[in-house]
């Protein structure tokens, strides 16, 4: 028999983001649900056909999601927050839970969206399930079963994918006190039994049940619950228990006692676990080897992977399956669409479509197909040759990195001394007001950038247009009365992609889009070589803005850890190496900004928390080099140069000492959504430097989103009970890029007015 092959999931956005545009048209009311469903059906059909054409053993079904797959699971289980329940759940129910509903659109008091957070250590987001003690679960959403029937009618051998019951519970949260959501497991398992009954009736042979929490360091109560769960839901349908993103060797004694039929492991994230898993695998189980990396864009060295799997193949025979490491939703869709890459560079990459083919060729080679063996060797040669490229490995960059020492991460003065210098130079009032960096990007701004990229306008015309945007932004800020201004970032399409385009060592793409959630897609750049800054990146725009005002202008940079986390990294060097290369490049930019007279520089690190490894025991090592890289970025700043940083929604408690170790003069964080509760961590730790807790939530779906003065005052007063008022800043909780000018100006005027009032009452 041929080796069984499959993937864990495929991108659902479409080759050119067809789902994104269909969703947004539907949300605007420009199309109806039938038109939306037609677009989705077309995407699914193409995805399944690709898998069949590559002779995979299964077409994976259930990986399509309208917003995210966890929210889809919630609707499958009939588990909808009470505020969104309006009879039998439908597609609009799903969108209300994911996006919220404003007072204006529903004629009510408004319905808040459920919280959203990152899917483990990826840039994909999911809607957090909300649990209460009286929750019930029953099948209410037939999408999964409908799609199984749809795929079968198209002639596919289906393998449904389903988020496992323990991971579903674990990834949610209790929204009332006094109970543990794990107590809901028996009720939840009843619903899963009903799902398996439906699978049997539909003729399903294998189901992929994802339990990614098995890669975490679970508390005993969670780990011990797996045995019960998989005894209860056992049926005639065979279960492939699926794990990914890290090793599961620690919990093999628990896993191998479960009533399942096979195990999938991620050999891209943790290749070292293969031998241990093969030794421990029960004799009747299959092992799905996730050898094709679903989270990165690099072409696989199929020749090397073939050699690495031979022993396992010899021991397991047909019980060894070949697969992607995780769902391919984390990869761009199709490399064939890229027409502007050099032939050399293009031969280094594989997007989702190409990774499906890699699975197929590798399995055939493993069976001894000589043509496939020869193909794998030829296919792998470009990625092997790349290792010796002097274009990739730059002696000057490596020499600078080799000299990195503790002094490279030190400011020339401690915070107390710096604060004294900055107070004299900046002359800022109590409760200084500022923004996080970006201002509304109108369609005109986006069209100007696009025209420049297409070559429709000259460099001089582009510069004039962007300077006009900056001039307008500075004028508006002065009229609002802000104390520290920004240039507005009109020249930036994305806070990471902009720097990738201006640093040597990155490759950007035309269609390398990856779904973040719902209709939101990102296009990460790719780190292809050693990174260096060949010329200043932000100095001209920032200095032009400073020339328009007497008020201090803040330079805006994206930090090294965030650039790392929000790009596709190299696989031939460590993440620490890439981050340190970025840190030196940013240090040079800081030096040039302050030399040009910019005395406030913000180095954003919103991704530092999400970069944490999955296992707690690995946190300290990561935080050490991540913090050090930030400090290297800022180390050239003189005492009178004030360094700011910004962090997005994050549980700060577990990393508060590392946040303090960044030694930024000012940190701005998102706290309005939690009503300043996130400040508890900073209060308990006695955070020593200045802090700007965001005083209104710019991500609210309400339109207009304008907080009143009294509301802002209340939040500032609450913050002042936790942080000394002389160390408080007043700012929104994130950039204003996605809002419109009318609400932005009104909101910021309210923010400035609240700060002015409190300067007299809080002294």
Catalytic residue numbers, as ranges: 699
Check the annotation: does 303 bind a ligand: no
- Cα–Cα separations (whole angstroms), residue 211 to 80, 162, 166, 265: 22, 9, 7, 11
Tell me the C-alpha distance between 602 and 701, whole Å: 27
Check the annotation: does 19 bind a ligand: yes
Check the annotation: does 177 bind a ligand: no
Check the annotation: does 18 bind a ligand: yes
Tell me the C-alpha distance between 97 and 687, whole Å: 36
Check the annotation: does 46 bind a ligand: no
Tell me the C-alpha distance between 606 and 112, whole Å: 24
Check the annotation: does 17 bind a ligand: yes
Tell me the C-alpha distance between 334 and 356, whole Å: 11
Q: What interhelical angle do 741-761 and 709-720 show, nearest 10?
A: 50
Percent helix, strand, coil in the chain, to 5, is: 45, 15, 40
Check the annotation: does 353 bind a ligand: no
Check the annotation: does 147 bind a ligand: no
Token pair recorded at residue 102: 């404003």
Do the bridges between strand 504-507 and strand 526-532 make them parallel or antiparallel, or are there none, so unpaired?
antiparallel
Task: Find out whether 99 and 701 touch, Cβ atoms under 8 Å.
Answer: yes
Check the annotation: does 489 bind a ligand: yes
Check the annotation: does 305 bind a ligand: no
Check the annotation: does 521 bind a ligand: yes
- Each as own residue / partner, the long-range contacts of residues 193-201 (CB below 8 Å, 24 or more positions apart, any chain) are 193/232, 193/233, 193/235, 194/138, 194/139, 195/76, 195/139, 195/144, 195/162, 196/233, 196/235, 196/237, 197/235, 198/139, 198/145, 199/148, 199/160, 199/235, 199/237, 200/235, 200/236, 200/237
Check the annotation: does 610 bind a ligand: yes
Check the annotation: does 520 bind a ligand: yes
- Residue of 256, 261, 624 lying closest to 409 (CA atoms): 624
Tell me the C-alpha distance between 71 and 79, whole Å: 9
Check the annotation: does 437 bind a ligand: yes
Task: Find out whether 199 and 235 touch, Cβ atoms under 8 Å.
Answer: yes
Positive or negative CA dihedral for 297, 302, 305, 309?
positive
**Residue carrying structure tokens 């699914």:** 44
Tell me the C-alpha distance between 730 and 726, whole Å: 11
Check the annotation: does 438 bind a ligand: yes
Binding residues for L-homocysteine: 436-438, 489, 604
Binding residues for L-methionine: 436-438, 489, 604
Binding residues for 5-methyltetrahydropteroyltri-L-glutamate: 17-20, 118, 123, 520-521, 566, 610
Binding residues for Zn(2+): 646, 648, 670, 734
Binding residues: 17-20, 118, 123, 436-438, 489, 520-521, 566, 604, 610, 646, 648, 670, 734
């Amino acid at each position: 028999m041929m080796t069984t092959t499959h993937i864990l999931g495929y991108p659902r956005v479409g080759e050119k983001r067809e789902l994104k545009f269909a969703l947004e048209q539907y949300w605007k009311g420009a199309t109806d649900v039938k038109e939306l469903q037609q677009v989705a059906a077309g995407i699914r059909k193409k995805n399944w056909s690709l898998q069949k054409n590559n002779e995979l053993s299964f077409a994976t079904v259930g990986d399509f999601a309208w917003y995210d797959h966890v929210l889809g699971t919630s609707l499958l289980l009939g588990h909808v927050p009470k505020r969104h329940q309006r009879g039998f759940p439908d597609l609009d129910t799903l969108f209300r839970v994911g996006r919220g509903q404003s007072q204006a659109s529903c004629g009510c008091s408004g319905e808040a969206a459920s919280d959203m957070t990152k899917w483990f250590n990826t840039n994909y987001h999911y809607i957090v399930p909300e649990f209460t003690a009286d929750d019930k679960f029953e099948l209410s959403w037939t999408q999964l079963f409908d799609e199984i029937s749809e795929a079968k009618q198209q002639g596919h051998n289906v393998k449904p994918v389903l988020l496992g019951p323990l991971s579903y519970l674990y990834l949610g949260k209790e929204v009332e006190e006094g109970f543990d959501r794990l107590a809901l497991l028996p009720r939840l398992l009843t619903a899963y039994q009903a799902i398996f009954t439906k699978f049997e009736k539909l003729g399903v042979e294998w189901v992929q049940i994802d339990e990614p929490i098995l890669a975490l360091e679970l508390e005993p109560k969670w780990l011990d619950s797996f045995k019960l769960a998989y005894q209860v839901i056992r049926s005639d349908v065979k279960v492939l228990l699926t794990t990914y993103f890290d090793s599961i060797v620690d919990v093999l004694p628990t896993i191998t006692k479960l009533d399942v039929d096979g195990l999938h492991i991620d050999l891209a994230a943790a290749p070292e676990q293969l031998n241990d898993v093969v030794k421990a695998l029960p004799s009747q189980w299959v092992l799905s080897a996730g050898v094709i990396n679903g989270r990165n864009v690099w072409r696989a060295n199929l020749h090397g992977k073939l050699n690495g799997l031979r022993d396992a193949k010899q021991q397991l025979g047909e019980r060894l399956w070949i697969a992607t490491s995780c769902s391919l939703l984390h990869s761009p869709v199709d490399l064939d669409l890229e027409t502007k890459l050099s032939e050399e560079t293009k031969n280094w990459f594989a997007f989702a479509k190409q990774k499906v083919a890699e699975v197929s060729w590798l399995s055939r080679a493993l069976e001894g197909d000589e043509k496939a063996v020869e193909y794998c060797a030829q296919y792998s040669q470009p990625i092997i040759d790349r290792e010796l490229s002097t274009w990739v490995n730059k002696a000057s960059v490596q020499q600078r990195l080799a000299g990195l020492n503790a002094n490279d991460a030190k400011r020339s003065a401690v915070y107390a001394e710096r604060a004294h210098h900055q107070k004299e130079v900046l002359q800022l009032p109590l409760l200084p007001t500022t923004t996080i960096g970006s201002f509304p990007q109108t369609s005109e701004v986006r069209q100007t950038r696009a025209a420049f990229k297409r070559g429709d306008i000259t460099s001089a015309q582009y510069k004039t247009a962007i300077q006009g945007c900056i001039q307008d932004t500075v004028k508006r800020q002065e009229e609002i009365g802000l104390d520290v201004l920004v240039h507005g970032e009109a020249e930036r399409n994305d806070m990471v992609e902009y720097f990738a385009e201006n640093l040597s060592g990155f490759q950007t793409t035309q269609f390398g889009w990856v779904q973040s959630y719902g209709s939101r897609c990102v296009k990460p750049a790719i780190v292809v070589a050693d990174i260096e800054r060949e010329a200043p990146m932000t100095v001209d725009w920032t200095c032009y803005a400073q020339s328009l005002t007497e008020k201090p202008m803040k330079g805006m940079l994206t930090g090294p850890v965030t650039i790392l986390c929000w790009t596709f990294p190299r696989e031939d060097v460590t993440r620490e190496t890439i981050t340190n290369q970025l840190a030196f490049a940013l240090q040079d930019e800081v030096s040039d900004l302050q030399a040009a007279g910019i005395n406030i520089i913000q180095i954003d690190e919103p991704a530092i928390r999400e970069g944490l490894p999955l296992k707690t025991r690995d946190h300290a090592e990561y935080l050490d080099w991540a913090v050090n890289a930030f400090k290297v970025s800022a180390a050239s700043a003189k005492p009178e140069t004030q360094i700011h940083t910004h962090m997005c929604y994050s549980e700060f408690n577990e990393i508060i000492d590392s946040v303090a170790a960044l030694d930024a003069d000012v940190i701005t964080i998102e706290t309005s959504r939690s009503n300043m509760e996130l400040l508890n961590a900073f209060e308990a730790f006695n955070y020593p430097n200045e802090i700007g807790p965001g005083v209104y939530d710019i991500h609210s779906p309400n339109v207009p989103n304008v907080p009143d003065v009294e509301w802002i005052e209340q939040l500032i007063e609450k913050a002042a009970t936790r942080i000394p008022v002389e160390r408080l800043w007043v700012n929104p909780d994130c950039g204003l890029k996605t809002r419109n000018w009318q609400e932005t100006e009104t909101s910021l005027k309210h923010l400035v007015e609240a700060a002015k009032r409190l300067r007299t009452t809080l002294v």
